[in-house]
Structure 1
Amino acid sequence: MKQEVLENERKRRTSLANIYDLERNNAYIELENWMNELTVLVLSVNSSTSVKRMFNGYLENVTEEQLMLPISGEWEEQVSQCIKKQAWLEAQIRLKVEERDITKEEVVVLERTDEIEPELLIAKENQIRKFKEKGIPYVPFYAVVDFKKNLTEEQKSRLESVLTETGILTSLIVPANRYNEALSGTVLSTHQAQVPNNLTKYLDVSVSDTGDVSHDDVLAVLKGISVSNEDVHFVTADGTFKGSFIAGTASQYGLAKYIGKHAREQERLRIIAMLKEKVAALKLEIDKLEVLSNESKTRQRKIEVEYRSFPKFPALKDAKEKFEVVAKRIAELLEPEISSLNEKFKELNTSVEIQIRNLNVEFVDITIEKNEQAVNDACDGLRNFERALSNLKSSYRSRGDKQSLLKNQDDKISTFKDVMDVARADVLSLVGRIKSIDTRIESYEKQLQDIGADNIRKLAQSINDKLEQFPLDQRALDRELSDLKNDLENLRERLSTGAQKKLFMQELVLAWEIALFQDVKEFSGKFGLEIESDTVSLAESIMSKFGQLLSKKDRVKNKSELGNVFSYADKGLPEYNLTMEPLEFRVDFSHMSIEDESRVEMLKMIARREKITLEYQSRRVSPSFAKIKLAEQDKTLAEVMDEKDREIYEDILINHVGETIKNKIQNSKDWVARINTIMEKTQNSSGLKFDVEWSPKKTDSEQELDTLELVRFLEKDPMWLADPDRKRIAQHFRSKVYEAKRKAELSGTSTFMEDIKSVLDYREWYEFIIYYEKTGEKRKEMKKSNYNTFSGGERAMAMYTPLLAAVDARLQNAHCEAPRIFALDEAFAGVDDNNIKEAFKVIEMYDFDYTLNSQSLWGCFDVVPDLSIYVLNRMGNSNLVNSISYSWNGIKKTRVEEPYEANEDIQSSVAQVTLF
């Protein structure tokens, strides 16, 4: 039987060996699938080949650690790269975040800053700090000037660049009385000699009245800096400059950034916008870096997951384990055991035979059958009897134990009954006592209700609470009493101060009223103000009329505008020697404290006035007085000039110039008639004819004459002109001259003589109108809409015919022996041969000499008596040009070098140009 088991185990071993081989193949396929499914964990070819090669010995002579060694190396390398990349990305993110935060702080600082300032050297900042320590007032040059409005952006840029290059832009201006004290630093001189062409040509003063550096200090600096390159030292608007030791042209620093409040504000906004763009760009970079960092972390996690997902090959391991168990069992246990069992079987067989013989001897006196079944049945009966006897003994012992237990329980029950009787008697006694106590409690409660015990309890509790609160209230009252005593002392001290304050405020109100009445008295006539005794009513009346001006302009802006207007007037009126002096408001206070000084300073600042005077007839007067006197003087001079102008216009225009103009107009009309005569004879192949009309212009002004009416007056004999006609002619030219002078002042280009020439140019009185006529159609005016309906040849004739006529008119004014020649490039391009012939016919009618250039034109027409023709050829891109000369005699064309008739249809592959 065991031999069969051995055979079965051997068959099982063979089967398990086959299963083991099959599972190895499946495991190899699983390994390849794992390698193919890798997405982020990259295995080199060497690692993949090494793992596959070692897998053949896996679980035999190759351990799992040895198999994983190439993959682990690749995994560790790639994880290390991810960690390094993440560290680099996080460092970059930190740097970008720091840069972004710094940029944001710069934006916040600029947004809180009113004006941007140019960057200063450390030495310049130290100099400014020393000025502050010494208490020397100063302002930078760029902060107290502004460009004039008529300057271009290019001029502004050049001026600021040259001022930057020379160091003037950031130099400091100090009051004239502190100039010598400030020479330890770089300051602009307010004592410089004034030059005629100075910076006031380009810059205006823009300084606050409340500052220590005055308008005059800044103006003195501007007037001391020349803008003329003829002076020793200068700066100009084109960027050139010359100083004590340097000269040249300033570098271009871009648009003006610091001169002028608006420019500084624009520069500040530009830098803020640039920084915000930088913040946005940094945010994008940070977002990109964070995305890359997250991608790197995700890649690292995926590498870890894929590495951890390496197959464990459980089926292969299980198959190997089963195979080894069976093989080991067969090799070590079953085969040696079979031989041992055979020996034991022989020994047992001998022993069995001996026992059978002994058994037969024992069964001699026993009546049961001598077989195994009968013996087993008898043995079973004996064992059953033995068990029944044992059970009987156990039941008897259990009965005795239970009887003893019952006796003990009866004794305990008797004892418990005695105890219960005693306890019942005690309970009945206690119930009686409780009832007695309840009766007494009810009696006591009834007595308490009769005497109002609840109210007494509440009253006692209230008294107790008040006794506890009394110390607290007493301490609070003590504190209030102390505070009241302190307040009383303070009020006594402030009483005297308040009295002084009252007196000061009364004096201050009186000073404001005086200032108000002074202004009202001065300007009541100009603005229609009524002087009232009630100050409040007067102030309300003024506020109702002029209060809206306070919301439109502030005092600083008004002062700046006044300074600009004064500077402009001073330059335009140098002969009147304008001056502007501050007129201080004088007031004394007898009860003024230190904290009230600001109120007084405000009063003085608001009541302060600028007094402007000018020199008129050797005395100083106000501008309004001078304006009235000058208006009266101007009116008187105008009346005198009107009469003088009329006499001049009558004498010159009517008696002298008028005759010349009349002759020129007549010559022009004859010239137009001659043009029309020539064009009447000219008719192209489509029957198109042209004529010109010299039409007088009409006027839009009531003070001017129409051209027809003016020419009619000029054609008359001056002796027969009536006075009204003479006045109308004089008024006409006076209006023309005035309009020309007005336009010249706006443009700033022409002179008075040029204006007179323009007014007397009779050619401006007329305009040319071209008419055309086709066969079978009416005469029409040449307009753009009509011109576009012409064919190419007709358009060419429409251009060339009047043009040639105009050339002829121009040459008519030349000397009789002067050449009548003109040149035309790309002559008659786009015109057909018939119209080209007509064009040559017109040229010959005008008796012109000419030089024409064309790509394909030869000009060999019977209307042309003779031509010299030159054909220029250039082979490909050669630098040489060949010339071939031809001659046309009105009948045929011949080559000059070879006197034979040339082919009319000349074809050539080279580029050619014909000159004749």
Structure 2
Amino acid sequence: MELENRKYLQEELCNDLEELIQDNQQYLSYLRFEELDSSYSEKLRTTITTFERKYWLEQVRQKQSHFRELLQMLSKLVHLENQKVDLERLVGNVQQELDELQRDLRHWQQTRLAELEKWKLAIDAWLTRSSFQLSKNQYHKLLYCIDNLLETEEREEVVLSPLTVSYQETLKKEQLALVPLEARLEENQTKIADIQLEIEEWQGQKAPKPYQHEGRKSNRKSWSDKAKYVLFYEGVDFQANVTEEERNRIEGALFTSGILDSVISEEMLQLADDWMIKSNPQLMSSTLASVLTVNSDLPLELQSQVANVLDSIFYNEMNPMIDLPIIHQDGRFQIANLSGEMPVDYQASFIGVASQERYRQEQIKRLKTDILQLEEANQELSTQIREQKQKLQSIEEAYQERPRGTEVYQTYMETKILALALTAKEKELTIKNAELSTLQQQLLMIKTHITEKAAGDQLNQKEETYEEALQYALNYEQNLHEAFSKSSELDRQQEMLETIASHVSNYQEEELSLLDKVSVLIGEITKLERLLKENEAQQQIINVAEPTAKLMAATEEQRQCQQEIKQLNQEQIKLEKARTKITGDIEHEDLQLVLLIKLESNWRALFEKELQRFNLPSTDLLMIAKEQGKELNVKELKRLEDRFSNQFGFIADQLQSYRPELVNVSGVDLSAEEEQGLGEFASFNHNKEPRFLEDGQLTTTSELLERLKDQRLTLQELLKKDDEQLFKKVILESVGKVLRIRIQQAQQWVAQMNELLQEQKNSSGLSLSISWKGVSANSEHDLSTNQLVRLLEKPTELLSDDDREVVSRHFQEKVRLAQEQLHNEPDDRSTLFQAIASVLDYRDWFEFELKYKRANEGYQPQPLTDRRFNQFSGGEKAIAMYLPLFAATYSRYEDAGEQCPRVITLDEAFAGIDDQNIAELFKACEQLNFNYVMNSQALFGDYPTVSKLAIYELLRPQNVNFVTTIRYYWDGQKKHLLTGGEELV
């Protein structure tokens, strides 16, 4: 019965296993396990090993890991794409805000420009009605300051500083103009007050007094009150018969001679800046007593003294006998040998009451007239002062009413705020764009990785597709586990069926044997029962101690056996677990062994292929690997890869006709799935190899090299016969002719340079010369330059065979050295053509030697070595450098056409040279007919040796952000300042 049940169960297990196998078929299109599933499913139906089960599961789990990895990458891709959308939207918003800020900034900049123009127009309108004006320079400076607000920020007071300066200057000027007016007004008022006092004095005086010096006044005040004296004009009066005209002349003569204000006294008075008349009466002569009388108001003793004095002065006397003063009728006078004449239009004012009163009234009238004039002047001054103050007030009001730049600065603040916001927004946009670029690169990388990794899946690269694929893989694995379980159960059932069948057979045999034994035992039992009954009576009598002891011993033995069985069961469990672990390790090692065997096979195939590619023997691969093996160095591999790329680029340029290209080559042909489990072998299995197209077929480097070698040998054989003859013909005829012409031209050029250098004079007496010397031979096969030039200058038909052989051998040696240099220096990018061109470059056959000689020194020109050059002065060094350059440049320009501009430029021209040598160098430039552009910190070029020159002086005041120029013109004699739109002629 049990056997039938187990057969039925086995049939059910087979059906379940087949269903699981069939269920997995639906997942194969996603897992790409058609071949594996077909093979291993068949094994599962029959017999499958534990290793094969583990390998099958390992492949499924690798596929699951592959799907999970791709799913993570796809999830990350979706996440990054969402981030990209959000970031692009954010970038768009920031860009929109940036555009708005730029639009607002342009608007405010335009507004600012408009406000600046309004401000300038307002200033122009204000200037038309302003009480003060700006100078032309101040006005331009003000406009410049306003326009400069477009670039820099300046305070309003700084911008309006030209206007403020003009206001202050005008205000100061007008205030200074007001000061003398007020001073004059105050002075006139003081004069009026003084004149009023003087009028009051005149009005209070009985008799006027002649003008007296302060010394005379103080001297007379020092005399005692008891002193008896009288002044001449106080002690006399005109006689009634004297006419007015005579009175004027007589008093005029007395006034001029000093007698009029002299002192008359008999006392010895102290005289300081004063006159005293001593009496010496001349009664028999014509004296002043004839026209003057003594004032009767005087004391009697003074009247006699006055009368004597009048008699002591001659009047209109000609040639008197005594040397006394003479007063003439026409206004002349004579005192001893001193003579004089009265002032013109003098009026008598001090002698006589009538004269004195008239003079006093005239003085009062004159002073009043002066007061009237001063008052009129004061009125005019007051008017001018009032006008000047009004002008100052109008200037102040005009300045206070000056147009302000409030709107301009408001627009500036708005512009500044927007510029700061714009900068911040641009920075934000830059950061966002950088983030977007980084995100796009990440997207590109992950898409590339996804594409590469999913290349063999043949699935739609969508997240839901791979989620479904992963679920299918999990379902497939679950079905495998169930299938393995069913298969194991099926195997166990099969074993049990076999065991049961075996047991049934054994049991049947045992049954027959037992039946026989049963029959025997029944007989024995019957016999024993009988014997038992017979012995029952005797058992009561027999001692039962011995059976009891045996029974107890058997019981104890049974207990110990059970305990040992229990320990053995536990030990069996431990051994089962150890066996399971060891079995798992063996299966893992079996998998690793399979992988290593596969890797060893692939490495061997790759190694053999590489040896075959380089035509190397492959007898003992292990020994060759040990000899050639090196430690992995990633940096060295990278360096070699870069060098390979550079070398290939160079080769590609040289072999363009073969269309070289780099192709990816696999050493061992493996599928993508096979390479996935081989680790780093996959990277070594692929490399880049150059391929060349020849005759329509791709060839390898070694194949092309062999063919080129064959072609080279063939060409060498073909060219060997005529090579030497052709070489001689080319060198001696075509190339030799060109070399001869070039060398002759160079020699003529050197001669011209030498002639120019000899003509140049300078203050230090330094003369220069130059020579072109041939270099010596480098080897015994080479010719010296002089020998080679001598042979090349000969006509070819006059050259002997020996000469031809020598020249040919010389150049063949040079070409051979060039070829060896190219061969020994593979990194050199020069071509053979360039090397041969270098060999034929005649300039390398010669060298220049510069010589010098000082005036009044007897030695011959000496070579100018570095040591001798360093002994020169600064001016001599400059001459030694400039003159050869000028001469060389001039010689080169001589080869050009007549219309060719002969221009030279010098930076920091003639620095460190004295003026005399600078003048000589300018003279050299003039003689060589150079046009020149030079700059210098101090040099103006206004030397007599310069015929004409345009000069620009650059100014940059106080580190401002612009440079202005001052233009001059040197006409050979004088430097002229150019202003406005003057043009140079």
TM-score, normalised relative to structure 2: 0.34
Higher relative contact order (CA 8 A, sep 6+): 2
Structure with larger Rg: 2
Alignment TM-score, normalising by the size of structure 1: 0.36
